[in-house]
């Protein structure tokens, strides 16, 4: 890789739908260990920053990983604070030009996927300024008024032939300091949408997603953080 990257991993102590999820054991380890282990295995990542409002999360992460802890200031605590505000504060404390932002709630994200995405980011032309992960869906979608979004109900096209809809899956974002400062967002004005496998992209927000991640991890052989 031509660049070095700082990985930003925000972790709140509070979680409404899956209480204490960032430290909740998954596959025998705290959930947050999975993404930290993945990031440690990527050579281009020179530093991992955990931004948290929880001393327990900070101590647990420090116990097993070489991480820099950012204690989240009071004005950035709470469920309604935008992630872009947290990233902006992190960048004020850090040097460096290139960043990866991901979440502890992506335990199935593989290092090979991140490496490939970093190569795509570094190989971008001047048309692109950032990259984020997406999941492709080829299904018949409707809006909340019952209007078709990506198909004509009078013409029953096989789903594999539909134009896919791309979901921002929150697995990872890659951006430069200059791109972030230009727009105040992790997604720049001209991003690359990087498609990844739907099962690898499971993002845990609910108990159902927790159970799915647990089942998928159980299918992997000899995988530990």
Task: Walk along the chain (225 residues) and give the pLDDT tens digit of each residue.
Answer: 789 999 999 999 998 889 999 999 999 999 999 999 999 999 999 999 999 999 999 999 999 999 999 999 999 999 889 999 999 999 999 999 999 999 999 999 999 999 999 999 999 988 999 999 999 999 999 999 999 999 999 998 999 989 899 999 999 999 999 999 999 999 999 999 999 999 999 999 999 999 999 999 998 865 667
pLDDT digits 0-9 by tens, 146-194: 999 999 999 989 999 898 999 999 999 999 999 999 999 999 999 999 9
Reduced to 3 states (helix: H, G, I; strand: E, B; else coil), residue 188 is: coil
User: What residue ranges do the domains of the chain occupy?
Assistant: 5-134+169-219
pLDDT digits 0-9 by tens, 73-84: 999 999 889 999
What pTM was computed for the model? 0.94
Per the listing, tokens 């030009």 go with 97
| H-helix segments, 43-82 | 55-64
Cα dist. 171→77, 80, 146 in Å?
22, 20, 30
CATH superfamily of 5-134+169-219: Spore Coat Polysaccharide Biosynthesis Protein SpsA; Chain A (3.90.550.10)
Strands in the chain per DSSP E = 5-11, 25-26, 29-30, 45-52, 68-71, 98-102, 130-137, 165-176, 191-195
């Amino acid at each position: 890789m031509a660049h070095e990257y700082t990985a930003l991993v925000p972790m709140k102590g509070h979680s409404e739908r899956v209480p204490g999820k960032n430290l909740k054991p998954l596959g025998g380890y705290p959930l947050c260990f999975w993404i930290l282990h993945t990031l440690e295995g990527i050579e281009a990542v020179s530093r991992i920053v955990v931004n948290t409002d929880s001393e327990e999360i900070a101590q647990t992460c420090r116990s097993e990983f070489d991480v820099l802890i950012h204690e989240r200031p009071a004005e950035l605590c709470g469920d309604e604070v935008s992630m872009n505000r947290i990233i902006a504060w992190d960048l004020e404390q850090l040097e460096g030009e290139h960043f990866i932002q991901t979440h502890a709630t992506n335990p199935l994200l593989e290092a090979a996927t991140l490496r490939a995405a970093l190569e795509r980011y570094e190989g971008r032309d001047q048309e692109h300024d950032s990259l984020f992960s997406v999941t492709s869906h080829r299904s018949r979608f409707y809006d909340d008024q019952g209007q078709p979004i990506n198909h004509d109900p009078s013409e029953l096209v096989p789903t594999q032939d539909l134009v896919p809809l791309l979901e921002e899956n929150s697995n990872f974002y890659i951006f430069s300091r200059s791109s972030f400062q230009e727009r105040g967002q992790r997604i720049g004005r001209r991003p690359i949408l990087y498609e990844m496998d739907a099962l690898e992209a499971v993002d845990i927000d609910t108990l159902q997603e927790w159970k799915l991640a647990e089942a998928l991890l159980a299918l992997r052989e000899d995988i530990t953080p």
